């Protein structure tokens, strides 16, 4: 879909910190009921929201993001009781769904389930399944509840670009394309939700197909079932949101340097380092006279902090006038799996 800039003359930002939450919710719901799109904070990243049962409104998400129609959206519900309005839970996975939603909802876990007939095909890109979650962010939850309808809300950025974790980042991405941004501050998780589908097994714990790594880790999921990663898919055939091999990318080429010996800088080019801790004696920091260095977890090396800062740091380096960004890998344990997933998708392909 092609965006026509003349459609929205100005984007307004409502500061939840400065106004009553009730006023922000009222403004957002009025626009959503009118079939418009609104940027809302979630605990993961900012989302571009529309009434999930209104295909005309959902089409505006695809247009504003310049998102291809083959890439399905996540649907957000206000309560677990609303799940039946957007999905059909088969009996053979009902127990697993109940245990997972008890453990992780509201929160950053998205379940892929057979879709309810009321969900427009545009939301699911024609698939027979729908991706569903319940956000834990108080602003998003308040809007979801007041609206009284499910909300489709992918990340509030242009397709393939760095996900926004602040209202200012949304404005840089979608300013003059959407009427309203609700500023709820920085996101607490910093990377998009974990996405799984569920495969039942007779007499055994179910298999969870991991379509996208996120804040709910493999280790946490393994208490309830066996986790198996889903392979990346071709550009035109994703089976769930967030599966595309190339995504979350800055405009500046990003190179994930998993082997220091592979770095050969070109004379006259400006390089920035996306460092894990930024320690002065780190082998990545001392590898080159960097033109800019940004750290995911300055001095401490905490994966939770690194996840929160990932997209912010990536955006800072993208705006630093560099020729290339060199990214240091992190340990692929816990949240490190989600961080490395985003770095690999953001990196240029050999």
Q: Does domain 5-80+119-183 have CATH number 3.40.50.150?
A: no
What local confidence, expressed as pLDDT, does residue 350 receive?
Answer: 65
Range in 23-32, 84-93, 241-250, 272-281 the model is least confident about: 241-250
In which band, very low, low, confident or very high, does the pLDDT at 2 lie, cut at 50, 70 and 90? Answer: very low
Most distant pair of Cα atoms in the chain: their distance: 63
Q: Does domain 254-346 have CATH number 3.40.50.2000?
A: no
Residues 274, 313: contact at Cβ < 8 Å? yes
Residue-wise burial string across 237-252, b where 16 or more C-beta atoms lie within 10 A, e elsewhere: ebbbbbbbeebbbbeb
Determine the average pLDDT of the residues in 153-173. 96
CATH 3.90.870.10 in the chain: give the residue spans.
5-80+119-183
User: What token pair was written down for 227?
Assistant: 């986790």
What local confidence, expressed as pLDDT, does residue 1 receive?
Answer: 46
Q: How many CB atoms lie within 10 A of CB 30?
A: 13
Per cent of the chain over pLDDT 90 is: 85
State pLDDT tens for residues 270-296: 999 999 999 999 999 999 999 999 999
Tell me the average pLDDT of the chain. Answer: 93
Residues 254, 348: contact at Cβ < 8 Å? yes
What local confidence, expressed as pLDDT, does residue 205 receive?
Answer: 94
State pLDDT tens for residues 80-123: 999 999 999 999 999 999 999 999 999 999 999 999 999 999 99
In which band, very low, low, confident or very high, does the pLDDT at 7 lie, cut at 50, 70 and 90? Answer: low
CATH 3.40.50.11030 in the chain: give the residue spans.
254-346
What local confidence, expressed as pLDDT, does residue 8 receive?
Answer: 57
In which band, very low, low, confident or very high, does the pLDDT at 232 lie, cut at 50, 70 and 90? Answer: low
């Amino acid at each position: 879909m092609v965006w026509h800039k003349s459609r929205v003359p100005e984007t307004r930002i409502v500061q939840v910190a400065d106004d009553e939450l009730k006023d922000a919710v009222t403004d957002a719901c009025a626009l959503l009921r009118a079939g418009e799109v609104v940027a809302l904070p979630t605990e993961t990243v900012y989302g571009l929201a529309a009434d999930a049962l209104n295909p005309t409104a959902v089409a505006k998400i695809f247009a504003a993001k310049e998102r291809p129609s083959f890439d399905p959206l996540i649907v957000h519900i206000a309560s677990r009781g609303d799940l039946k309005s957007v999905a059909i839970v088969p009996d053979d996975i009902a127990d697993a769904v109940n245990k997972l939603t008890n453990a992780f909802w509201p929160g950053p876990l998205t379940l892929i389930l057979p879709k309810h007939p009321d969900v427009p095909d545009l939301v699911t890109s024609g698939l027979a399944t729908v991706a569903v979650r319940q956000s834990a962010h108080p602003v998003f939850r308040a809007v979801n509840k007041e609206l009284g309808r499910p909300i489709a809300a992918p990340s509030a950025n242009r397709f393939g670009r760095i996900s926004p974790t602040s209202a200012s980042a949304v404005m840089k991405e979608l300013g003059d394309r959407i009427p309203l941004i609700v500023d709820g501050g920085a996101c607490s998780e910093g990377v998009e939700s974990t996405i799984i589908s569920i495969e039942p097994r007779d007499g055994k714990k179910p298999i969870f197909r991991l379509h996208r790594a996120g804040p709910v880790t493999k280790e946490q999921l393994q208490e309830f079932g066996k986790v198996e990663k889903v392979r990346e898919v071709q550009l035109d055939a994703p089976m769930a949101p967030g599966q595309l091999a190339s995504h979350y990318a800055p405009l500046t080429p990003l190179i994930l340097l998993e082997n220091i010996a592979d770095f050969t800088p070109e004379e006259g080019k400006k390089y920035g380092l996306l460092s894990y801790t930024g320690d002065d004696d780190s082998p990545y920091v001392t590898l080159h006279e960097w033109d800019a260095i940004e750290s995911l977890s300055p001095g401490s090396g905490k994966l939770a902090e690194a996840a929160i800062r990932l997209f912010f740091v990536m955006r800072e380096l993208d705006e630093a006038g560099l020729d290339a960004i060199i990214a240091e890998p992190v340990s692929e344990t816990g949240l490190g799996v989600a961080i490395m997933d985003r770095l690999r998708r953001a990196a240029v392909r050999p």
